[in-house]
Amino acid sequence: MHDIRYIRENPAEFDRGLGRRGVAAQSAEILAADAAHRAAITDLQALEARRNEASKAIGQARARKDDAAAATLMAEVADIKARMPSLESDERTLGAALHDRLAALPNIPAEDVPDGADETANVLVRVWGDKPGFAFAPREHDEIGTPLGLDFEAGAALSGARFTVMHGAMARLHRALAQMMLDTQSAHGFVETAVPYLVRDAAMFGTGQLPKFGEDSFRTENGYWLIPTSEVSLTNLAADRIIDSATLPWRMSALTPCFRSEAGAAGRDTKGMIRQHQFDKVEMVAITAPEASAALHQEMVGNAERVLQMLGLHYRVMLLSAGDMGAAARKTYDLEVWLPGQSQYREIASISNCGDYQARRMQARCRTPGEKATRFVHTLNGSGVAVGRALVAVLENYQQHDGSVIVPEVLRPYMGGTEVLRA
């Protein structure tokens, strides 16, 4: 959500920011809609003031026995009362139209975000570790995992494409990864939080999934949404609140399933576990005062990196271009892990600073003790990390020639000391 006062004062700058997103200039139309709304408010206020003035004058006319003046004033008040519902409706309609227009626009990129229309303009920040070497041609995770308990046929039989069943060692490895990630983020000060998987429209609107991206999520017949990420539930814990600044930042983490229709990814990554309708993810969310968000963003990137380092996985950190970021983000880093079977990097975590964009939608504010004024908080979110993709990465990076998979040392305590997975 955008600040209309900022647009009034900086229309050219606002249009420049949208242009970096590939969105046409909007300020002229927005300011015209704003002027119409403000004029309707002014007219309504003036009419209300005249009604109050005339009502007072009726009593004064009666006190001086001027029945004619009282009758004229009473007729005027009756006329005003008859006109006001229509004017109130017009004001609400104009206000809602302006709100909806502002709500449909993406966030403005931070100044240090690189320009570009897509991932080809993303900037490499750093690389960690080395690509593993193999004395054989490495295989992809679906081929490696099937003898170990990945069951794509059962998933398809139960639910259709983009669903997977895991048996035995695969189910346990998946759980071990999730538990290790959650423990790691808890050690970093992110409070483990259990949240609902079903949310209302307002929660989806608050984090930016609605109104524009509803087709990317699943909705129940009675009006709930299945969360596409626990960011939705966690971030909305600050909705409609004025938070004591002394309690900030809030750091929260959650392990939840995530549900995505992948409407915008039809035909992409249909093989294996890369792009699923249902997957587990450990999420980090932070609510903070505006001046602390940049440093907290770097902290969260480091937390996600630590998970991959503990697993011994080679990865790179990319700063996303303006055209490649999610709509709610003002700055995003992606962690891309190396998958030797696919011979390419794949995103495994995305960490975003949304500034006050979500906070304005949620009406989430903070107040410094002793001060009257409030400010919108800043919200941040990031994967810590996607469990299914981490499983894919472990299978491909730790595969052996005989089809077995070495269990990374950090996971062995979660797997009863198991060191190698065999068919």
**Mean pLDDT to the nearest integer, 277-302:** 97
Task: Look at residues 413, 325, 360 and name the one whose alpha carbon lies nearest to residue 17.
Answer: 325
Q: Which two tokens stand for residue 405?
A: 């998979």
Domains 4-103 and 119-421 share a fold: no
A 10 A CB-CB count for 7 gives 18
Residue 408, amino acid: P
Residue 168, sorted as left (phi over 0), alpha (psi -120 to 50) or beta, turns out to be left
- Does residue 268 surpass a pLDDT of 70? no
**Mean pLDDT to the nearest integer, 198-202:** 97
A 10 A CB-CB count for 149 gives 18
**Mean pLDDT to the nearest integer, 99-111:** 96
- Does residue 146 surpass a pLDDT of 80? yes
| SS3 label, residue 198 | strand
d(CA 248, CA 293): 11
pLDDT in tens, 369-416: 889 999 999 999 999 999 999 999 999 999 999 999 999 999 999 999
Residue with the bigger pLDDT between 15 and 265: it is: 15
pLDDT in tens, 62-102: 998 888 889 999 999 999 999 999 999 999 999 999 999 99
Domain formed by 119-421, architecture: 2-Layer Sandwich (3.30)
- Does residue 238 surpass a pLDDT of 60? yes
Residue appearing with tokens 């004395």: 135
Domain boundaries, the chain: 4-103, 119-421
Q: How many CA atoms lie within 13 A of 294 on its CB side?
A: 5
If pLDDT is split at 50, 70 and 90, which confidence band does 271 have?
A: confident
**pLDDT given at position 218:** 96
* Percent of the chain scoring above 70 in pLDDT: 98
If pLDDT is split at 50, 70 and 90, which confidence band does 264 have?
A: low
Residues in contact with 157: Cβ distance below 8 Å, sequence separation at least 6, in sequence order: none
Task: Look at residues 239, 243, 227, 315 and name the one whose alpha carbon lies nearest to residue 279.
Answer: 227
Domain formed by 4-103, architecture: Orthogonal Bundle (1.10)
- Does residue 173 surpass a pLDDT of 60? yes
